[in-house]
Amino acid sequence: MTYLIDRRLQGKNKSAINRERFLRRYKSQIKDAVGRAIKGRSITDIENGEKVSIPVKDVNEPNFGHAHGGVWETINPGNKEYQKGDQFSRPKGGGGSGRGKAGNSDQQSEDDFIFELSREEFMNYFFEDLELPNMVKTQLTATTEFKNQRAGYNMSGTPSNIHVLRSLRGALGRRIAVGGSSRKAVLQAESELIELLEEGTPLDDPRVVELKRLIHHLHTKLLAIPFIDPFDLRYSNRIKVPKPMTQAVMFCIMDVSGSMDETRKDTAKRFFILLYLFLKRAYDKIEVVFIRHHTAASEVDEEEFFHSRESGGTVVSSALHLLTKIIGERYGSGEWNSYVAQASDGDNWDNDSLLCKQLLINTIMPSVQYYTYVEITDGPPQNLWEQYAEVSDHHANFAMQKIVTPADIYPVFRELFKKQPK
């Protein structure tokens, strides 16, 4: 029997190497395309693959052509204007050749080169701008709980883990293998003995006596094979595998007062996307709740959360009151892991900021896993920041950072979700 083993690194996907080479070669163009794709995506769809397009001028390959060397003399029939030795200017546009002309227009146009990034490739490009991408990717899949899972069988273990069926099956196979030649010899000897007796050979004939002795010896040998041997025992093997926690809810709270322009909202969206990806990798099921507020707070969908033009003054406590109400009514059973991300420019009424601090310390923080506050402003810290700084002194699961420009998003996220020393 001949066994064929395929040891090629890309046995079934022969173009994988070419694809990797292509991704490396046009890395900057693909990153730009991924950046454009992120802006048009929703938070919950950010983890899927994406079709990206690259201008065809960026993927043109160099090629060799044959030039006219030396001296050429040609005769063009119908020439009434030029004589031999006359000189004239080179035609504009390289002799009039070109691709993609439409009608009489001098402009060239070609379709973009479109291809699809896989989920893993899209995520790699998405996280590439992080200062410490390997650390973040490790954190995305980090879990603290484990579950026992069967992983085959061992030849050693405790008696309580003996797998009876597997052990008996192995014992049966061993007995068949060990006694196979003896059973064959028994059948052959019994067949010869029957033939001799049918021919009338007397019982005291030496051949009959020898066959009977051989048959008795072989039966004794077969009976000596143990029914089960320690070698046959198989024990169920169990290993501990990471067990993602069951379900989580992520609360996105954003200030939509008049001072939060589209640029700051876009910065907040990028931060919320990173947080969603962090939780999506650690939990089997995750829900997202969007809360927007100015002087009043309301629960909305993602489209209204980021693109609604409604604005007004700032009363941050209205959002915290609504957060407390939603947690108590829908996620207070103890089966949900609650996470909160709040984005604001920090401008708030002084008395209301004090009320926010009291709500967080006394009510909200004991019921959530982690609370992050990012202040999106290029000015000095506001009064809300000063009050929230006292919350972090009372609760270790409260963290706050300041974002000045979009370039600060990834370092801030890394700082907020870095692994805490035990």
Tell me the mean pLDDT in the region 351-356: 91
pTM for this one? 0.49
pLDDT at 136: 37
242 confidence band (pLDDT: 50, 70, 90): low
Mean pLDDT score of the chain, rounded to an integer?
76
**Per residue in 267-313, pLDDT tens?**
888 888 777 777 776 676 788 899 999 889 999 988 888 777 777 78
CA distance 34 to 53: 9
Query: Per DSSP, which regions of 9-137 are E strands?
Result: 50-54, 113-117
pLDDT at 326: 94
Flag the least confident range among 90-94, 148-152, 194-198: 90-94
**How far is residue 167 from each of residues 149, 162, 223, measured CA to CA in Å?**
20, 8, 20
CA distance 54 to 37: 12
Distance, CA of 362 to chain centre:
37
42 confidence band (pLDDT: 50, 70, 90): low
Q: What is the DSSP letter of 291?
A: E
Cα angle, residue 309 at apex, residues 327 and 254 outer, rounded to 5°: 30
pLDDT at 360: 93
CA distance 158 to 82: 104
**Per residue in 70-105, pLDDT tens?**
677 766 666 667 777 777 776 665 444 444 444 444
Residue 253 predicted with pLDDT over 90: yes
Highest mean pLDDT among 133-137, 344-348, 408-412: 344-348
CATH superfamily of the domain spanning 245-416: von Willebrand factor, type A domain (3.40.50.410)
Tell me the mean pLDDT in the region 138-164: 70
